[in-house]
Amino acid sequence: MSCLLRRRQQTADQRGPLRRVRSLRAVLPERRHQAGGGRGVTFRVVIAGVGGQGVLVAARVLGSAARYADFDARVGQLHGMAQRGGSVEGTVVIGRGSTAFIGPGDADVVLGLEPLETQRALPRMSDRTEVLMNERPVALATLTQRGVEYPELGTILQRVRGVTERVHTLDARSIAERAGSPRTLNVVMLGLLAGLDFLPFVENALARAVDAQSPERLVDINRRAYQLGRESAAGTRGVAGS
């Protein structure tokens, strides 16, 4: 069981039966963590980035990983433009449910491949959301066209931490370059997600899905990117605790 789910269970176990029910109702919105996939959870992930970063590929890989682990999963795209530089946001809902829609405050995890796009996902965050953010910005086409200056990273982090203190940042672009290609940034971020142990299934299902979704010529480089992302979990900056 992931540390995110264990943390919620431990909080409940410290109370008597009646107080436990009240605590769970207060901590978890009713649409969260219903029975699903035979594992008794519903887990919601938003993946935010820009065209060219592999947002939707990452969403498909995560959905495949859930199915390998015998969970139901739905993958969707909330909005965005596929062209390079346009906003793209994918969603993955693991467990019981009929759609991939993630409503206000419902995200368990936001995987931000780009800082400003992470900020755009604020409406789906709550104080329980774990935010994993690549801190290397991309020059967004929408800002360039309007002549708008990109916000300071510190300003973006302040806004995100205004909703949740559970923020984990790293320079995923540099790690992807070490793996052999900056285009593996999405795989680095999936590795970070696995390394932080927030998913409701075992990590090797995600590693298997990365392999399965990689073109043959990219299997080795994606494996390196995934492993480097996973190893970076211990060194992410700005992690807020318990």
- CATH number of the domain within which 104 lies: 3.40.920.10
- Mean pLDDT calculated for residue range 212-224: 97
Binned at pLDDT 50, 70 and 90, residue 18 comes out as very low
239, part of any domain: no
Q: Cβ distance 188 to 143 under 8 Å?
A: no
Any idea which residue has 């959870």 for tokens?
Answer: 41
For the chain, percent of residues with pLDDT exceeding 90: 67
Question: Is the pLDDT reported for residue 98 higher than 50?
Answer: yes
220, part of any domain: yes
Going by C-beta distance under 8 Å and a sequence separation of 6 or more, which residues neighbour residue 147? none
Q: Strand 42-50 and strand 109-112: pairing?
A: parallel
21, part of any domain: no
Cross-strand partners of 132: 111, 168
Domains: count for the chain: 1
The 10 Å Cβ neighbour count of residue 13 is: 9
Question: Is the pLDDT reported for residue 82 higher than 80?
Answer: no
18, part of any domain: no
154, part of any domain: yes
242, part of any domain: no
Output the pTM of the full model.
0.81
How do residues 193-202 score in pLDDT, each as one tens digit? 999 999 999 9
104, part of any domain: yes
- Domain with 208, as residue range(s), is 3-13+31-234
68, part of any domain: yes
pLDDT number for residue 147:
76
How do residues 29-57 score in pLDDT, each as one tens digit? 333 433 334 456 799 999 999 999 999 99
pLDDT number for residue 37:
43
pLDDT number for residue 236:
80
